[in-house]
């Protein structure tokens, strides 16, 4: 395999994994798993709109993911529990996306590549976009780290400290939307949540502070991304799902090691 | 007289058309200990939320002294099991400019040096209460606000906690505002007790009866006089239309 190609796909996978670890930790702490699922499903609608309007796919996904997230955040709690809104949004956005894609004539859209990713088609331009996503998304989380942490811990305590939990929540949502946009080509709309949650869940078993959990989750994500890639070349399996399977293996190993080592805190 | 740290004027709060608070005129001054008592659902937690800015009043005004710093001790901390957090890390989270000596002082005062490396989720109720207090004390706030801080503790533990609060006030000079659902037994060091039931029903000073035999009978000797009784003297009657507001005590 050409080195150029290997470097390209590896960088793309590592970039996405680097963001997914820390953001995924916050997703676990803030109990937003279903939320992550919803905005990644909604990204398919972004793909359809981008193709119809001739915009870059990542931009379409970013805008739709953030718009759906913002609507859910502002509308929840009035008439429905946030759970209901998420259920409605996740599946109707997915359905709308699928219907919208079918109306697109002239372009032959390979749907499966957006649902489970198509990292092998990643270009250097995509790698550059993923790189800027890493800088933007990780930068946002590192910049707001303390405020985000304390807002995730207890809303009232954050307010008493003079923080603004609503604003921090919105910024976090923005970081998530960026991740979804850069990850859709790598693991696909259906599996983005897996990449968020599984490395963070594995890291939880071996971390005693939030910082260690976020760092460890990023490292585990990178290991899963690279071994998933290698596995998919070796066994000719689809790449996105292979990365997720590798992440699951990491989680199981972390759990087994933890059980052997005895449970602490 | 010194100007108040925080003051509410004609404060009112509505939730979905339901009046939770109305006509609350309240002020707390530097160094004062004020206890707010009220039955469940009397709006006392909502009142605290207004003071810390978590709830926006639908009526009236809240005036804060310039540069006022508040240390807030929540009733509970809903820490998800997925959140790894040692006590030491939690304390460092208290402020951007937390210095090691600020933390050491708060740790010393609350006697929690033994649990610094423990996970927050493994602490007992009493330990967690002390850790939350230490967190609130970092940065020497002007006003310490405690929401039902003694709930779930047995009486000797409550007495110990009140004793600690008294010490804190003595050493740090901060004002203390605490809320309790216990209508009759309050912290004896309270300078004032306010009975809140949607509005301020009555206020006064606790009756110090620690030398009376009845007190010994009620609280035993182990509470070292930290508990006192509060006698409610109402200067108004509630008409039957406001039966929901009638005093539970």
pLDDT digit string, tens, across residues A180-231? 999 998 888 889 999 999 999 999 999 999 999 999 999 999 999 999 999 9
Q: Is residue A242 part of a domain?
A: no
Residue A151's pLDDT is: 92
Q: What percent of chain A has pLDDT over 70?
A: 96
Q: Is B150 on the interface with A (CB under 8 A)?
A: no
Q: Does B116 touch chain A (CB under 8 A)?
A: no
pLDDT of chain B, 249 residues: tens digit per residue: 578 999 999 999 998 888 899 999 999 999 999 999 888 888 888 999 999 888 889 999 999 999 898 999 988 887 888 899 999 999 998 876 778 888 999 999 999 999 999 999 889 888 999 999 999 999 889 999 999 887 777 878 888 888 899 999 999 899 999 998 777 777 878 888 888 888 888 887 876 554 555 555 555 555 666 777 777 766 665 544 444 444 443
Chain A residues at the B interface, defined by Cβ less than 8 Å, are: 28-29, 31, 146, 149-150, 152-157, 159-161, 200-201, 204, 207-213, 265
Q: Do B80 and A28 touch (CB under 8 A)?
A: yes
Q: Is residue A119 one of the residues assigned to a domain?
A: yes
Location of structure tokens 């976009």: A129
The two tokens of residue B133 are 């207090």
CA torsion A169→A175→A180→A181, rounded to 10°? 130
Residue A30 has pLDDT above 50, yes or no: yes
- Give CA–CA dist B7/B2, Å, rounded: 12
Other CB atoms within 10 A of residue A252 CB: 12
**Structural domain of A167:** 3-191
Helix, strand, or coil (residue B21):
strand
**Chosen from B50, B74, B84 to mutate, greatest number of chain A CBs within 10 A:** B84
Chain A residue closest in CA terms to B80: A29
- Of the residues A146, A160, A163, A217, the best mutation for testing chain B's interface (the one with the most B CB atoms within 10 Å of its CB) is A160
Tell me, yes or no, whether A74 lies in a domain. yes
State the average pLDDT over residues A59-82.
Answer: 85
- Based on the structure, what is the number of domains in chain A? 1
| A215 assigned to some structural domain | no
Q: Is residue A211 part of a domain?
A: no
Residue A106: pLDDT over 80: no
The answer to the question of residue A129 being in a domain is yes
**pLDDT at residue A17, as a whole number:** 95
Mutate to test the interface with A, among B47, B70, B82, B89 (most CBs of A within 10 A): B82
Using alpha carbons, select from B183, B153, B184, B178 the residue that is nearest to residue B166: B178
Residue A80 domain flag: yes
Whether residue A209 lies inside any domain: the answer is no
Contact A31 B118 (CB under 8 A): no
pLDDT of residue A107: 60
pLDDT at B245: 42
Of B77, B89, B121, the CB nearest to A154: B77
Given a cut of 50, whether residue A152 has pLDDT beyond it is: yes
> B89 contacts in A (CB within 8 Å)?
209-211
Q: Which among A28, A150, A154 is the nearest to B82, CB-wise?
A: A28
- pLDDT tens digits, residue range A163-178? 899 899 999 999 999 9
- pLDDT value, residue B1: 59
Q: Do B84 and A204 touch (CB under 8 A)?
A: yes
Task: Give the E-state strand segments of chain B in sequence order.
Answer: 6-15, 18-28, 33-37, 59-64, 70-73, 143-147, 175-180, 185-187, 192-197, 199-204, 227-229
CATH number at residue A104: 1.10.3470.10
């Amino acid at each position: 395999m050409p080195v150029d190609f290997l470097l390209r796909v590896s960088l793309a996978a590592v970039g996405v994994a680097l963001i997914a670890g820390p953001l995924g930790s916050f997703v676990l702490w803030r109990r937003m798993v279903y939320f992550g699922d919803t905005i990644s499903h909604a990204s398919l609608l972004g793909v359809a709109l981008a193709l119809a309007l001739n915009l870059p796919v990542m931009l379409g996904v970013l805008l739709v993911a953030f718009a759906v997230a913002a609507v859910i955040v502002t509308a929840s709690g009035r008439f429905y529990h946030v759970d209901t809104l998420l259920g409605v949004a996740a599946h109707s956005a997915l359905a709308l996306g699928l219907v919208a894609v079918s109306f697109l004539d002239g372009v032959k859209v390979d749907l499966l590549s957006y649902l489970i990713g198509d990292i092998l088609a990643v270009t250097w331009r995509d790698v550059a976009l993923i790189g800027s996503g890493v800088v933007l998304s990780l930068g946002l989380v590192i910049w707001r780290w303390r405020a985000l942490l304390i807002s995730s811990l207890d809303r009232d305590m954050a307010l008493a400290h003079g923080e603004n939990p609503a604003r921090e929540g919105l910024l976090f949502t923005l970081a998530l939307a960026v991740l979804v946009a850069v990850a859709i080509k790598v693991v696909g709309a259906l599996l983005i949540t897996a990449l968020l949650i599984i490395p963070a869940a594995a890291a939880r078993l071996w971390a005693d502070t939030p910082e260690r959990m976020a760092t460890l989750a990023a490292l585990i994500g990178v290991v899963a991304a690279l071994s998933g890639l290698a596995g998919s070349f070796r066994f000719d399996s689809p790449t996105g799902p292979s990365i997720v399977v590798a992440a699951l293996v990491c989680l199981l190993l972390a759990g087994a090691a933890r059980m052997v080592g005895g449970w602490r805190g | 007289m010194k100007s108040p740290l925080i003051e509410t004027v004609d404060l009112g709060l509505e939730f979905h058309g339901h009046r939770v608070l109305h006509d609350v005129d309240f002020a707390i001054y530097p160094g004062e200990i004020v206890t707010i008592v009220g039955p469940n659902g009397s709006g006392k937690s909502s009142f605290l939320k207004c003071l810390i800015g978590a709830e926006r009043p639908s009526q009236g005004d809240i005036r804060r002294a310039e540069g006022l710093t508040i240390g807030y001790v929540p009733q509970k901390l809903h820490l998800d099991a997925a959140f790894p957090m040692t006590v030491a890390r939690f304390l460092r989270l208290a402020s951007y400019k937390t210095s090691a000596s600020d933390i050491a002082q708060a740790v010393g005062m609350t006697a929690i040096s033994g649990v610094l490396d423990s996970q927050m989720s493994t602490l007992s109720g009493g330990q967690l209460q002390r850790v939350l207090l230490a967190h609130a004390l970092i940065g020497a706030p002007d006003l310490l606000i405690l929401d039902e801080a003694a709930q779930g503790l047995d009486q000797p533990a409550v007495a110990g906690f009140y004793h600690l609060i008294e010490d804190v006030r003595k050493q740090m000079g901060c004002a203390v505002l605490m809320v309790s659902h216990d209508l009759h037994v309050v912290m004896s060091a309270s300078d004032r007790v306010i009975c809140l039931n949607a509005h301020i029903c009555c206020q006064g000073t606790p009756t110090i009866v620690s030398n009376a035999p009845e007190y010994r009978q009620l609280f035993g000797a182990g509470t070292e006089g930290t508990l006192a009784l509060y006698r409610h003297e109402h200067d108004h009657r509630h008409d039957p239309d406001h039966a929901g507001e009638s005093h539970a005590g």
